[in-house]
Amino acid sequence: MATEKDVLDALRGVLDPELGKDLVSLDMIKDIKIDGSSVSFKLTLTSSGCPMKKEIEENAKEAVMTLPGVEKVVVDVGSRPSKGKAGGLPPREPIEGVKNTIAVASGKGGVGKSTVAVNLALSMKDKGFKVGVLDCDIYGPSLQMMIGVKDSLRATVDGRIMPNERYGMKLVSIGFLLDEDTPVIWRGPMVMQMIRQFLREVHWGDLDYLIIDLPPGTGDAQLTLVQTIPLTGAVVVTTPQDIALIDAYKAIQMFSEVGVPVLGIVENMSSFVCPHCGRTTEIFSKGGGEKASKKYKVPLLGSVPLDMDIRKSSDSGKPIVAQNPESSHAKAFLDIAETINKTISAPAFSKASAGR
């Protein structure tokens, strides 16, 4: 029969992926009870919204199940009462001078997340708002290319980072700091440090909207962001086919679990109008965004077609909303910005935010 020491030893092999230490050293394991082949214990997470909750619970269960004679493991997952600090991390605080922070996320890469982020930012600017864009996509920062700015970032006299500027927006990107051709292997702590620095040490000035382009998926960058600032909301970009929607759902779920309002889904590359014959082809299937919106109970903010002009304009440093704001494609982005703006300004939304 397993002993309490065996259980603790097994759990010493399970790490909290975020804090990089094992569950026993982090004092997360309590009340171990062994009844024949059945083991139960309390697992106390550092914060109630811990996005790694399921992963940690499953790893803990698996580790104890490997002990000889153990057939059943019951984990009672709880969290430490919040005292303003989560697991030794500084409390979440808004960025000084920035009214709204919107994360643009996706489950998969290549669905057009950065294209949406940049055109959404330009649309907000077009509506008269003061806007900043932060490109945190560690795997493929593209702001420098999409917006045609490659200058490195400068520091102010007091050591803060000065954003670059283009199209009347403040811009900060990991791409401004890296050499395009040199690969970087991003380890968790590096990602966290970089994102905290961008959120805390940039001189953003007064902004109505800071649009944050995240890497695809639900990893360290997302986690650091939600733990560092109280995000106003998240927009999830997806293409309409089922395989992308499954991953989009994971992103939606992650934000919901940590209490960030999901403002809605943007369906990108939704249909293709042939420039030669004018026929519409649903390359990535039809109605996926709407289906997902109903299934996951989040609004569909809008659909953006697959179009050569959108691709060309982004790749040439002048996104469609800057290049041709009157075009129907730019209108799709402007409408999405309008919907987001209305959602955020609604009294019910502000009231709910105040309670978060």
Residue (146 or 226) nearer to ligand ADP, CB: 146
Dist. CA 19–CA 26, nearest whole Å: 9
Under the binding rule (CB under 6 A), the answer on residue 306 touching ligand ADP is yes
Q: Does 218 bind ligand ADP (CB under 6 A)?
A: no
CA–CA gap between residue 50 and residue 62 (Å, rounded): 19
Under DSSP, the state recorded for 202 is B
- Neighbouring C-alpha atoms within 13 Å toward the C-beta of 351: 3
Cβ proximity of 339 and 302 under 8 Å? yes
Tell which one of 59, 101, 106, 232 touches ligand ADP (CB under 6 A): 106
User: x/- binding map, residues 118-157, to ligand ADP, per CB under 6 A?
Assistant: ----------------------x-x---------------
Task: Give the one residue of 44, 59, 100, 114 binding ligand ADP; rule: CB under 6 A.
Answer: 114
Q: Contact between 307 and ligand ADP (CB under 6 A)? A: yes
The two most distant CA atoms of the chain are separated, in Å, by 74
| Binding of residue 265 to ligand ADP (CB under 6 A) | no
Instruction: Find, among 290, 289, 288, 270, the residue nearest to 280 by Cα.
Output: 270
Comparison of 67 and 265: residue with beta carbon closer to ligand ADP? 265
Which long-range contacts does 187-192 make (Cβ < 8 Å, 24+ apart)? 188/17, 188/18, 188/20, 188/220, 189/20, 191/138, 191/219, 191/220, 191/221, 191/224, 192/220, 192/223, 192/224
Interacting residue with ligand ADP among 14, 310, 337, 344 (CB under 6 A):
310
Select from 79-87, 172-180, 286-294, 301-309 the region that touches ligand ADP (CB under 6 A). Answer: 301-309
In whole angstroms, how close is the CB of 280 to ligand ADP at the nearest point?
Answer: 14
Binding residues (CB under 6 A) for ligand ADP: these are: 106, 109-115, 140, 142, 268-269, 304, 306-307, 310-311, 314-315
